[in-house]
Amino acid sequence: MAYSENNKFQTHNNTQNGKRLHQCSHCSKTCSQKGHLKIHMRSHTGERPYKCSQCDKTFVQKIHLKNHLNTHTGERPYKCNMCDKSFALISNLTAHMRVHAEGLTKICKERLYKCSQCPMDFTTNGSLKRHMNTHTGEKPYRCTMCDKSFSQNTMLINHMNIHTGEKPYHCNHCDKTFHQHANLHVHMRTHTGEKPYKCECGKAYSTKQSLINHMNTHTGKRPYQCHHAQCHKAFSDSNILKGHMIIHSGKKPYECTYCDKGFTTNTNLKIHIITHTGEKPYKCSQCDNAYTQSSSLKKHLKIHPSPHNVETISEQHV
């Protein structure tokens, strides 16, 4: 290796010989290069010259700022070469690689950071500490624009996008964008068809909440209650409650594109649209009749004797 300057050669030579010439004036640490000492000095002075343009965070080194910016843009440049996962921070990739480490024996597993409150375990102590907030209820990360607080910093960062209107997470299959990476992850299932949340009855759902709502139809639970005065209705699905609350608000957000009518639910709008298009989607399986509404089809079906209807009629005449 050739060097044009003596001082560079001397620094290189000292490094090769294991000597460290640049000593910190505040502690006993020595560095092989002056630039490294300069960075180290910031641990004493508190200087953090690299500022994020998206939030109020500052950093000691430029590379730390660069990695941090990935959390805003959604970029995940650090890819695992053993699976399809990718990460915004190289430290997260390093922690992830431990999962793939060859010879992860029982002894190694015992060294994982285990939660004392639940069966979960983690590859880093930092991950365990963040997880413990879910048990203690501690939410140290507070939003400066509203009264919400969070157990993890990443949750706060995602939440801030709601205030700023920023949607940094882009779907590469369509033009939709999202405030949070978790929402993008769920959305991707509409393209892949993945439904990982399965009920014992055979039905499957793309989100955990959808499965919970479905399970309420089996158990009969109706945990979502309307708190409007003189209304005691309760629902098995939170989305149904949201639609119901529109009735109390007096709003009619679903507007007809053919006339000036508005409706409280999208279902009512669809039924109304049929009066303009003349479509009759509800077809009788016994004859050629078709109807604009399912209720009309149900009334019509009574004129066709079926095994169920005949049995019911017979029982009534016994």
- What's the pLDDT tens digit per position in 246-277? 888 888 888 999 998 998 888 888 888 888 99
Which helix (DSSP H) or strand (DSSP E) does residue 101 occupy? none
Distance between start and end Cα atoms, the chain: 106
The pair of three-digit structure tokens given for residue 137, joined into one six-digit string: 């209820």
pLDDT digits (tens, 9 = 90+) for 93-111: 777 776 666 444 443 444 5
Would you say residue 19 has pLDDT above 80? no
pLDDT-derived band at 307, boundaries 50, 70, 90: low
Q: Domains for the chain: give ranges and CATH numbers.
A: 254-308 (3.30.160.60)
Per DSSP, 318 falls in state -
Dist CA 171 CA 148 (whole Å): 28
Which segment of 162-171, 191-200, 247-256, 269-278 scores lowest on mean pLDDT? 162-171
**Closest by alpha carbon to 287, among 260, 268, 306, 262?**
306
pLDDT-derived band at 314, boundaries 50, 70, 90: very low
Which segment of 19-28, 98-107, 293-302 scores lowest on mean pLDDT? 98-107
Specify which of 1-10, 40-49, 64-73, 202-211 reaches the highest per-range mean pLDDT.
202-211
Question: Who's near 302: CB < 8 A, 6+ residues apart?
Answer: 309
SS3 of 251-275: the string is CCCEECCCCCCEECCHHHHHHHHHH
What is the pLDDT at residue 99? 67
Of all residues in the chain, the percent with pLDDT exceeding 90 is 5
Higher pLDDT, 260 or 313: 260
Higher pLDDT, 151 or 205: 205
Would you say residue 45 has pLDDT above 70? yes
Q: Amino acid letter at 117?
A: Q
Torsion (CA) 96, 100, 105, 106 in degrees, nearest 10: 40
Of all residues in the chain, the percent with pLDDT exceeding 70 is 85
